[in-house]
Amino acid sequence: DKPRREAILDLAKYTDKKICVKFTGGRQGEFSGYDQLLNLVMDDIEETLNDPETGLPAVPPRTRSLGLAVIRGTSLVLISPLDG
């Protein structure tokens, strides 16, 4: 039998705490939970939209609300407290 791998990131300590999570593709939201594959359940997700012609963030910035979603943990970029 192979030894069990430990997760690089212990997400259990962030459950039920107000934190901001940012993902690739300009998405961010509030952490609600996770599964054994480290996919994250996120709430109040906002996605920053890019300009379709340049592929760069739109000026002025445009966002859309995605609400509640499950996002793959491999696209995680940053975890930080909501209150600074």
Mean per-residue pLDDT for 23-42? Answer: 86
pLDDT band at 68 (very low <50, low <70, confident <90, very high): very high
Report DSSP state, residue 14: G
Q: Which two tokens stand for residue 58?
A: 């739109």
All structural domains of the chain: 11-79 (2.30.30.100)
CA angle 62, 65, 25 (to 5 degrees): 65
Q: What is the pLDDT of residues 6-15, one digit of tens each?
A: 767 788 888 7
Give the span between the Cα atoms of 72 and 53, in whole angstroms. Answer: 27
Helix residue ranges, H only, 4-71: none
Give the span between the Cα atoms of 45 and 47, in whole angstroms. Answer: 7
Mean pLDDT for the chain overall: 83
Nearest Cα to 25, choosing from 71, 68, 79? Answer: 71
